[in-house]
Structure 1
Amino acid sequence: MGSLGFQARPLSVPGSCRVDFGAEVTGVDLNNLSEEDFKLLRDCLYTSQVVVVRDQQALTPRAQYELTRRFDPETDIYGHGKTIDKRSILHKDLKTIPHQPQVQVIGHGFVDSFEGLENIQLKHPHHNTFHKYPVSAEEDDDCTHFYRWHIDAALYDLNPPLVTSLLAVTVPKGRRQICRWDDGTGAELDVPLGTTAFFSGYRLYQMLSEEDKEFARTSRVEYAAHPYVWISSAHARSNGLGLFSEGLEIPDDKLPPIEVAKIKTYPMVWKNPVTGEYALMVYGIPMRRIHLESGEVLDNLAEIRERIYKLQRPGIDPELIYPHDWEEGDLVLFNNHGVMHSVVGSFRDGETRIFRQCNLAASRTPLGPDTN
């Protein structure tokens, strides 16, 4: 028996009738989480994929780290390691809390002092730094794009974290934006300012044809060495799902030294450790090659990017997206091996957003479809 106070109910998703994941949990003390309640929380996470716990303003960075680590007790390293190359597209987005280095500060605006950090300038990632065709400057206040559909993962040397925790500390309110796909479909979604958007890899796998399911179950994806440096000059599609192939990737001889043993190759399909369900989990942006069951290796970037894009694009239809409407004190946990997510939105000068993020490089590789 767990705590009598633990309760979980499905998330309310206004305007969507096909989002089949997400839960809101009440009746837990995350600063002092019992083993019984943690087991309930873990089961809830792996059956719901995204879990929201409200009013967690009192959650300390230490408790956030300890909670995140309980999902994978054999690891203790931040998901991207101790240092990030200055050329990486991730470098400018993260500030490390000095007294809890596994926890990062992300957001937007100037912050005088926060958790031992002084006079920091946070910068919310804006799609105009990464997309080939960004929203025009005239429309930027009202319209936006998904920045980059991704999992939290270094994809070189370190394994993708099992779980990510995000805590909203300061959230500007009052504005909404129209997120446009701008991919020729006319798709768009009214979203809260600075939402974090999610889609389900499990639903995506279920939507595949039997032929595509077979291809996904039997193929593996090789990711580039130093992937976020490798793609630092490339341009993303307007819906944030993958890159254009323009030959702009950084050549191997211009990357940091490459250790072949640290290059990561993972199954396309990842198995849920609780339900056994399959999720299509290909991170198309840093993908370098596809290894087929036959032993053939596909390495024409333009062709493999297009193939994976066609598999994944149905999963980001508007009715399948959960855009979280952040409130201060929200703690969101998500199954990083089962959902993909994206930063969304553009902030004005003077709008301050402060979040704490924690994820830990996994102690194991993702579970493939043949894992017992």
Structure 2
Amino acid sequence: VDHCGDGVKPWPGAIDWHTIITLSGLMLLTKGVELSGYFDVLGRKMTRRFHTERQLAMFLVLAAAVLSTFLTNDVALFIVVPLTITLKKLCAIPVNRLIIFEALAVNAGSLLTPVGNPQNILLWGRSGLTFAEFSGQMAPLAVMMMLTLLLLCWFCFPGRALQYHTGTRSPQWQPRLVWSCLALYVVFLTALELRQELWGLVLVAAGFIVLARRVIVSVDWTLLLVFMAMFIDVHLLTQLPALQGVFNQVGALSHLGLWLTAIGLSQVISNVPSTILLLNYVPASTLLAWAVNIGGFGLLPGSLANLIALRMANDRRIWWRFHFYSLPMLAWAALVGYGLLQLMP
């Protein structure tokens, strides 16, 4: 009797393969740049330019936020976090604290544009707004969150001079691999635009098989399994008869009720699945867009970017420390965000 087959069949359909394939390509490309040694060169140039821990932290936080507005929050982390880890070889810096702030920065920065993160891509598609109109509705929240983060950054990183490690040799790097990664990046982005992401991934993988096979082996493929499990979990949640009745009530909620529901749901099942779920019952309003983006702060599952950043840090202690900064950020954003929303026309 094939009882298992019935339950397993819909699982591949529950996974958003576009997201998984896109992530695979981006992970390969950034790992290629990392293994080329270019981050070492960039890190060396940067540490010469910044004299204090605070200057370096402010720069990295701003860089993460700006990159995330156009390259999406995940890609921004794939660039900034390896660079931060490289900097540790050159000078004494609080690497975990920097990575936590970078995770918060990509959540704050990426909410500005329709292409900053997956939930905005989804909301933008449903809202019928132009690129500029969507960015306009998100701008007050983005400005408020970035100012808060930079202020917090100022207090959390001291103005003490950076201590350089002596005897670090000038880094060896492979220009050919860096240029190849850039060329493959353009190919991959073009493939994404043309909705041919699978062919894009095949081309990128083929490129690395020819150029540097160690890139394919070095990628943290288990991260993709985490994402797949998340999609399946959400799918199974929505299938529970007990919850279907609850979800049908969402359309009748007050503004404050929907605000708290979207933020709360994001804390438990992450903000992208929450958006997918809630759009079945409510329109893609400014309130929903703000709420699911604020839901990326707080608990670890709030945003996939949190998982990516902390996993790349490769240090157990960071998982607890993250909440020390992220939970107050959530409370502040939920409170001030709702106030700002009332002031908007």
Shorter-chain TM-score bucket reads under 0.3
**TM-score, length-normalised on structure 1?**
0.26
Kindly indicate which of the two structures has a greater share of residues assigned to helix.
2
Larger relative contact order, structure 1 or 2 (CA cutoff 8 Å, min sep 6): 1
Kindly indicate which of the two structures has a greater share of residues assigned to strand.
1
**TM-score, length-normalised on structure 2?**
0.27
Structure of higher CA gyration radius: 2
